[in-house]
Amino acid sequence: MTTRRFMILLPLGLSLLLAQSYFWVPTYDQQARGNPGRLEEYIQASIGDAGILNPILSADSASSEINNLVFEGLIDRDENLHFRGRVAESWEITEEAYFIVNASARVPGAEGADADSIRRLLDEARRSAHARTPELQQTLANIRSVAVEPARRYELTRPRAGGGEPLRIDVDAPARIKLTLAEVDMDLFARLTEILGPEYFERPAPESRLRTPQPIDAKELAALAAELLPATEHNPVIEFRLRPGVRFHDGRPVRAEDVKFTYEAIMDPRNLSPRVADYEPVKSVEVLDPLRLRIVYKRLYSPAIGTWAMGILPAHLLDADALRREAAASGQNPAAMTMRQSAFNRWPVGCGPFVFREWKSDQYIFLDRFEDYWEGPPNYRSYAYRIIPDLLTQEMEFYAGTIDAYGVQPHQAERLSQDPRFQSFSGTSFSYAYIGYNLRRPPFDDLRVRRALTMALDVEKIIRFVLYQQGERTTGPFLKQTDFYNPEVAPVPYDPSGAVALLAEAGWRPGPGGRLEKEGRPLQFTLISNSGNDTRKSILAIAQDSWKQLGIDVRTDLVEWSVFIKERVNKLDFDALVLGWSMGIDPDLFQIWHSSQTGPHQLNFVGYANPEADELILRIRQEFNHERLVDYCRRLHAIIAHDQPYTFLYVPRWTAILDRRIVIRETDSAGGHRYRPITATRTGNHMFHFNQWIRLADMPVFTSR
């Protein structure tokens, strides 16, 4: 029998007994002989527990890992990062564009300035083979139809800031031209000026067409007019066709109504979803039939299609009627019941490849494969997510075979990647590490202080001695693997003496004992991070020591992961923290950096606000031209790097190891099996084919074909 021994502080005479009994873990071979089902069970370890098993509410990586197995979205990305259908079997992206008829404009070649004359002019231009430029010809060929939307009068009401009686607005809307396009064309109106004239869309402000019985200031009236009567309007449209036969884990079919419900649940302010920013640009979601829905956007929004990878919620378990029934059954107030209070978040039901079975907080989450999964059930019968905060314990359990994967620590990467017992995968992470400062609190509201803190930190030392060179310096919020990262932004230099001078400029000077003070107050704060991560623990120690050498009183604290997220990050209750972001390849950073996203449960928890950055973030969301997109992103990178709301640290390299007996099993039409080794996608994702993984009893031998 193999045992593992640990030195623990116990009364003499008890240590050996407890070390041999409590910490004994059977090896994989011992488990497999006693329990053949172990071959069909995958066990994953995590340093922290999940927070909430609901994809529209969760914001931590542990919850996301489980949600991605239990829930499924309309689409995701394939091995080459192209979008592919999941619950949706197909989709079409078109556009409806509008412009107000400018009755005062003189249009060359038009019979008049009325709507019908403009429509006829555009139809004639579409039929003509003599467009002035190839770009205009391309734009005209993209137009499927031209129609007139007549002038109309209508009334609406709007709530007013600060409460009080809602504002009543009488709108006298002029006629509009509606263009139906085969594809989104962000340059449409710029190109149509070749036909309509360079000033056609530059008409006077339309405030005169609004009437309000209540008093209203000119600024508010102008904002309403710009919103209600824009000169031009882009409305991208996505029509999804759902795959027939997809079912939730309770047997109910997935319908377009469930997708619409998921969107509405995200936008319901009572649910406090951190995903609101992704779906705010949506104008309407219309169910066309049980398997088709049509989504119309208010404006150009380049990340639109990718947002529909969001896991779909079952409306019949979470709609208003279901929540009322749950509240009544549990003795809660039905009027106050929201999705965040629902037991669903600990007993989720999705339509993904695995079915939720059990969750014991801070110990494990168990899933079983979904036998009716639309793509066929996974090869593994069950999935266990074990909470093991100590990385050494994770390592030992991996060697014993009681967990199936191990995220190699930087100092182990070279050795373990060469071990013949394991298959190894590595790459540059789609993430970065940082120290974030709560800009709402002094002294972090002073750029000079933030920059001085960065200057005092030797990031290269962290990369060399903490990461063992398994990482590289980063300077901003975009992935280094993409064009959006700005390589011309230089890292803040390591310069402790310069940091002291900058702090002095900000009013912080040495007092008794060399401690920095300003107006009798010491420069002191607490730097926190989550427990169970040795790298972040080391960064805390290095930062504390570096800043204390300047005369700053820095305290550190490590907090259990779920408490760290729920009580400190989500509630904005921190001075500074060490954390990291896992990123997608899309450059939309609205949720993390826009000034509207600084509230509790939102992702701009450091409180960063810069009007120039806000404008660029919005431009990035609407830009389809890659060259312009790169330009905007690199400018945004430079602005954020200058403002130093974070000390940007590094992009880590990652290495993961698996037992070599874990393989991909493919089944042919006759029921026969073929095995092949696990391979990573070009982005380094080795778990892309996880549903096809299985563990063999013996080491496989692969032959080339």
Contact 95, 237 (CB under 8 A): yes
Question: How far apart (Å, rounded) are the C-alpha atoms in residues 574 and 579?
Answer: 12
> Could you tell me if residue 673 is inside a domain?
no
Inside any domain, residue 255? no
Q: What residues form DSSP beta bridges with 285?
A: 295
Confidence bin at 111 (pLDDT 50/70/90): confident
Task: Round to whole Å and give the CA distance between 44 and 372.
Answer: 23
CA distance 67 to 353: 11
* pLDDT tens for each residue of 191-218: 999 999 988 988 666 888 999 988 888 8
Give the mean model confidence (pLDDT) for residues 682-704: 84
The string of pLDDT tens digits covering residues 264-312 is 999 999 999 999 989 999 999 999 999 999 999 999 999 999 999 999 9
In this prediction, residue 372 carries a pLDDT of 98
Q: What is the pLDDT of residue 86?
A: 98
pLDDT digits (tens, 9 = 90+) for 224-253: 998 899 999 999 999 999 999 999 999 999
What's the pLDDT band for 438 if we cut at 50, 70, 90?
very high
Q: Say what the pLDDT of residue 684 is.
A: 78
CATH of residue 647's domain is 3.10.105.10
Contact of 556 with 527, CB cutoff 8 Å: yes
Q: Give the domain-ending residue among 183, 201, 236.
A: 236
Q: State residue 15's pLDDT score.
A: 30
The conformation of residue 95, written as its DSSP 8-state character, comes to E
Domain boundary (617, 637, 655) is at 655
pLDDT confidence tier of residue 500, bands split at 50, 70 and 90: very high
Dihedral sign from CA coordinates of 618, 621, 627, 633: positive
User: What local confidence, expressed as pLDDT, does residue 59 receive?
Assistant: 83
User: Per DSSP, what are the bridge partners of residue 90?
Assistant: 241
The sign of the dihedral angle between the CA atoms of 308, 313, 315, 316 is positive
pLDDT at 16 over 50: no
For residue 690, what are the contacts with CB-CB under 8 A and spacing of at least 6?
Answer: 378
**Domain limits at 142?**
93-236
* Per-residue pLDDT band at 696 (split at 50, 70, 90): very high
Q: Band the pLDDT of 110: cuts 50, 70, 90.
A: confident
Structure tokens at 431: 């993430």
Given this model, what pLDDT does residue 584 score? 80
213, containing H or E segment = none
pLDDT at 304: 94
Asked whether residue 346 is domain-assigned, the answer is no
* Residue 521 maps to a domain: yes
Q: Please give the Cα distance from 261 to 250 (Å, whole number).
A: 18
Is residue 592 included in any domain, yes or no?
yes
What is the C-alpha to C-alpha distance for residues 412 and 82, in angstroms, rounded to an integer?
34
CA angle 694, 696, 698 (to 5 degrees): 165
- CA atoms of 484 and 631, how far apart (whole Å): 8
pLDDT (tens digit per residue) in 607-617: 999 999 999 99
Task: State the average pLDDT over residues 170-189.
Answer: 95
Question: For the segment 545-583, what is each residue's pLDDT rounded down to a tens digit?
Answer: 999 999 999 999 999 988 999 999 999 999 999 999 988
Give the Cα separation of 418 and 510 in Å (integer). Answer: 52
Tens digits of per-residue pLDDT, 126-138? 988 666 788 999 9
If DSSP codes are grouped into helix, strand and coil, which group holds residue 554?
strand
What per-residue confidence (pLDDT) applies to 35?
A: 63
Mean pLDDT of the chain: 90
The values of phi and psi at residue 546, to 5°, are: -65, -45
| 409 — pLDDT class (breaks 50, 70, 90) | confident
Nearest alpha-carbon partner for 132 in 198, 211, 214, 50:
198
| Radius of gyration (C-alpha) of the chain in whole angstroms | 29
- Terminal Cα distance for the chain, rounded: 42
What are the distances in angstroms from CA 469 to CA 117, 461, 463, 651?
Answer: 68, 10, 5, 11
- Is residue 452 within 8 A of residue 493, CB to CB? The reply is no
Angle at 181 between CA 180 and CA 187, to 5 degrees: 120
Among 23-27, 171-175, 350-354, which is the least confidently predicted range? 23-27
Question: Residue 683 domain-assigned?
Answer: no
Domain boundary among 191, 217, 236: 236
Total structural domains within the chain: 2
- Tell me what pLDDT residue 658 has: 92
Q: Give residue 202's pLDDT.
A: 81
> What single string gives the DSSP state of each residue in 157-170?
EE--TTSSSPEEEE
Residue 284 has φ and ψ, to the nearest 5°, of -160, 150
Residue type present at position 635: R
* pTM given for the model: 0.79
- Given a cut of 90, whether residue 640 has pLDDT beyond it is yes
Tell me, letter by letter, the H, E, C secondary structure of 407-473: ECCHHHHHHHHCCCCEEEEEEECCEEEEEEECCCCCCCCCHHHHHHHHHCCCHHHHHHHHCCCCEEE
What is the mean pLDDT of the segment spanning 95-107?
91
pLDDT at residue 26 tops 60: no
**What is the reported pLDDT for 36?**
63
pLDDT exceeds cutoff 80 at 27: no
- Assigned token pair, 408: 């190699």
In a domain, 202, yes or no: yes
- As a dihedral over the C-alpha atoms of residue 54, residue 59, residue 63, residue 65, rounded to 10 degrees, the angle is 110
Q: SS3 for 223-269, per residue?
A: HHHHHHCCCEEEEEEEEEEECCCCECCCCCECCHHHHHHHHHHHHCH
Does the residue 630 lie in any domain?
A: yes
| Helices vs strands, H then E, count in the chain | 21, 29
How far is it, in rounded angstroms, from Cα 8 to Cα 43? 27
The confidence score (pLDDT) of residue 14 equals 29
The residues pairing with 579 across neighbouring beta strands, listed in sequence order, are: 434
> pLDDT by residue (tens digit) across 61-94?
899 999 999 999 999 989 888 899 999 999 999 9
